[in-house]
Amino acid sequence: MTRSQSNNQWSGGIAAHSAPQKFRVQKSAGKFLASIFWDQDGILHIDYLPKGQTINADNYSSLLVQMKYILKEKRRGKFTKGVSFLHDNAPAHRALVTLKKLAYLGFQCLDHPPYSPDLAPSEYHLFPGLKIQLKGHHFSSDAEVIPTAETWLDGQPSEFFFLSGLQKFEQRAKKCIELREEYFE
Cβ neighbours of residue 140 closer than 8 Å, sequence gap 6 or more: 27, 29
Ranking 21-30, 39-48, 126-135, 163-172 by mean pLDDT, the lowest is: 21-30
CA distances from 81 to 46, 77, 99, 182 (A): 23, 8, 20, 35
Q: Domain segments of the chain: what residues? A: 30-178
107 strand-pairing partners: 83
- CATH architecture assigned to 30-178: 2-Layer Sandwich (3.30)
Specify the pTM: 0.66
* Strand-pair category, 34-39 with 42-48: antiparallel
> 127-149: per-residue pLDDT in tens?
888 888 888 888 888 788 889 88
